[in-house]
Amino acid sequence: MDILRGIAMVLVILQHSYLSVHRKTIPPLVDFLLWNMTGLAAVAFVSISGMVYSYFLYTASDWRHAYRRYAKRAAFLLLAAHPAINLSGYFFNAAGKENSSSAQVILNLMVLNFPITDMIAVCLLVAPVFVVCIGSAMRATVIIALLLSAVLVRAYSMPESATWSLLQELTFGGLGIPKVFWFPEASWLAIFLTGSFAGYALACHTKGTLEVSAMVRMINRSGLFLAACGVVLVLGYKMLKMAFGSAGNHNIILAVYPGQTTALLPGYLAALALLLAAFLKEIDIRGHYNRLFWLLSVFGRTSLFTFVIQFAIVESVPALLGMKGTLGPVGFVVLFVTGSLLIWTLAYLYGRWRGWISANDYAICVNMTRDRFFKCQVHG
């Protein structure tokens, strides 16, 4: 799980480095591929959070103990991470705004700017209703219902009142660029809940009721099924646009446009499932743990810290240097590479300070992997 979170953090850094690029200097195909590839970052960040949370709910002797612990985590995200993230990215967000030092702009950017962690905090508070209290089939139905309702509300609900418009943006989202809320709760709660299925499988393995090889096969099959669903949805969108693009309801076409919470979502989830299966196979079945895994795990074990400081390093620092929206391909690569190295170093030092990473951490991880491998061999 730490390695997957590490990959998500690398994608976050890549995407946020790209925000300082002058898009006209990037070939259109590269721009399209890079932007859609990094779209996996938010989906991974949220679904992995759901997977980890569900794992602890399922493995706790009493799920209420885990819930109380994560309720405190939710409060921390809302009360501490919220201002820390907004402060870290303040200079990037303020760059180019008129009267950027005015009280109204500062209020908007520091208080009324809602990062993805706020949405995750809400998910932590409400998810147990769906994870613990209902079965997997009903949960899958809820996920599909949430995603479909978000599409239908965006397509057919056009509130005239500013208050209702913001409420819709908060819950289901709207068409076009959001005014305030970039992560509508219904869609992203559905993504958060998708992680609960992998969390349940990992919990079963921990309890000894599911062999790792069977879990890998199950996750691989799920990944392939999701990939097929993604292909069908993208093709369905293309057919819908060709059939009704000129004479049909343009709002419904905009609402189902392939994105993180629509037709591209199954593909993103498929990529995560196949990566999880590959790591489980490599580490738990083959007993291999390499340096790259360890480097990524440092990001994964310090994911919130990494997420906060990357706003300062790859967004605010370039903005302060007047580079926002000016970088070409070479500048983008330099920013991403140097930013990643600096962020990783700070994450490692933070992990050492918190006691999450030891002096000989790589050797310990290798030995733990070998121990798990030999135990699996003995019991297998």
- Going from N- to C-terminal start, the domains of the chain cover 2-379
**What's the pLDDT score for residue 139?**
94
CA distance 303 to 350: 11
Average pLDDT rounded to a whole number, residues 154-168: 86
**What's the pLDDT score for residue 98?**
65
Average pLDDT rounded to a whole number, residues 323-335: 92
Residues 6 or more apart whose CB falls under 8 angstroms from that of 116 comprise 42, 45, 46, 182, 183, 188
Does the pLDDT at position 314 exceed 80? yes
29-57 pLDDT per residue, tens: 888 888 888 889 999 999 999 999 999 99
Identify the band that residue 211 occupies on the pLDDT scale cut at 50, 70 and 90.
Answer: confident
CA distance 265 to 135: 22
Which pair of tokens denotes residue 8? Answer: 């998500």
Q: pTM for the complete prediction?
A: 0.92
DSSP string, 201-256: HHHHHHTTSS-HHHHHHHHHHHHHHHHHHHHHHHHHHHHHHHHHTTTS-HHHHHHT
Average pLDDT rounded to a whole number, residues 139-159: 92
**What's the pLDDT score for residue 294?**
92
Does the pLDDT at position 292 exceed 60? yes
351-368 pLDDT per residue, tens: 999 989 988 888 888 888
71-121 pLDDT per residue, tens: 999 999 999 999 999 999 999 988 877 666 677 777 888 888 899 999 999
130-148 pLDDT per residue, tens: 999 888 999 999 999 999 9
